[in-house]
Amino acid sequence: MHTLLSKKESAQLIILEVLLEKQKISLDDLAKVSLISKQTLCNYLDELLIKLPFLQIKKKNNEIRLLKNTIISYPVIYSYFYTCSDHFAFLEYLFFHPFTQTNKLIDQLHLNPSKYRRIKKQTICFLEKENIFLSNSPLYFHGDFYHLAHFFTTFLYEKYPSLTSLIPARERKVIKEITDSLSKQIPEELHIELYIWVMIKLSMHYPRCLTDLSNQEMDCSKILVNQKRFEQTFKIPYTVFIHNLFVRCYTDLNQPILPTEKREFKKELLHLRKKMYQIFQAQSDSFLPHTVDLIIHFLNGRTDLLNSFKKRFVLDFFMQNGCFCSSISEQLKQAFLIFKNKIANDDLFFELIYYLIVHDTTLVQLFIQHQQAKRIAVACTFGNPHNLMLAGYLNQWFGSRFSFEAITFDNMVNLERQVETYDFFLTNLAIVNHPKCISCDSFLNNHDLNYLVHLFSHSIFQDWLKEFR
């Protein structure tokens, strides 16, 4: 979706994403990742600091550090780019104003003709890759109706996380009545209220479907809508086409029939789930959670545009819960790689893993229960009572993921042998060129503790997880 941003906006978004992920980075490395010069990077940063007053960074020598506060987050930065991007404004205006003439659109978005042509060309190129098409003046979207509905549901959900900021109260009331008649239990992840509202608005791009006022009988056995209130609220006729949209939603929620491709997704996800239970030597049933089953049915094209929060969730989850023994690590690596190759779609891969983690609490418990604590020796020269106190303190500070053990030693040779039996070795002695050794003073200050947090968290991130970056 970065293709729907200007080159400058795309680079600025990469800058902010990298800062959020890494917290600190050299200016040279950040410029390299952003595909811009160091001078351009500094100019873009200065501009962002003006436009985003909540953004706080500290430059020192060749390093830049993001100062964490309660406001800066991924949703906040994506909201900024959704708001400032001319391409997204172009998409949104056309969605809500189909059959707009070119001249009016240029005036409404305050564009000059040259910039308008560039934005339109770039947007069309992006949309065609999504099997969505844009007509010439007058401008409107066409293509598979349901595919379009899912695309704009995703787009509007990312830009407007709260329905109250998007849908007027009167329309929300009617939408709520419709969704209540669809099913008693609708997974929040489907965003059905927004999806229904998007379909109603999208129908205006298909005027023939709204002018077909034939006396074709509506099937009201599954869903009953107050047609008069609907027409007064949305200012469009309640045609058979509109009614059938709601009937299809009812069927999809209550009697879903998966097409062949989605049956394969479900089959592979079930196989992965069963394999993971086997790896942990636990019993599993042969069914996916009902919510996951429904979500697979409703998958239709992109599941995110700018905010790939499901991918971040999966990676962060295993960053904190990926410390398995070598045997389990290797088996999980093979299971995930096979599943990823079968799915052959990175976005869908993270989507399905995300929902499996969120809705299969037993599996999550198995992940947590099979964590292997890192063993860290505490071997300072201040005596055993000192080491015991420091190890006890660090065990309380870091929790169960790390096991700090106080050890004593008689000579340097014995110490170097002991290093090999631990994951890390905390000591005030300098053991030259030993990667496991961490030097410390008599006690650890805040800088030392933060360094250990960073070091330990990255040591947990096993090689098998790097496959999915």
> What is the mean predicted confidence (pLDDT) over 331-357?
91
> What is the mean predicted confidence (pLDDT) over 268-288?
92
The whole-number pLDDT of residue 219 equals: 66
Q: For the chain, give the number of residues.
A: 469
**132-144 residue pLDDT tens:** 999 988 999 999 9
> What is the mean predicted confidence (pLDDT) over 415-441?
77
Nearest to 457 by CA among 407, 391, 399: 399
The whole-number pLDDT of residue 38 equals: 92
**Domain boundaries 2-73, corresponding CATH code:** 1.10.10.10
Rounded Cα distance, 309 and 246, in Å: 29
The whole-number pLDDT of residue 216 equals: 62
Residue 78 tokens, joined = 């994506």
User: What is the residue extent of each domain of the chain?
Assistant: 2-73, 83-253, 260-369, 374-464
Most confidently modeled range among 103-117, 361-375, 450-464: 103-117
Q: CA 36, 37, 43 angle in degrees (round to 5)?
A: 90
The pLDDT-based confidence of 460 (bands split at 50, 70, 90) is low
What angle do the packed helices 74-84 and 7-22 form, to 10 degrees? 170
State how far the alpha carbon of 275 is from the alpha carbons of 10, 296, 346, in Å.
40, 20, 20
Domains 2-73 and 374-464 alike in fold: no
Select the more confidently predicted residue: 10 or 323: 10
Global pTM?
A: 0.84
pLDDT at 411 > cutoff 60: no
Fold of the domain spanning 374-464 = Rossmann fold (3.40.50)
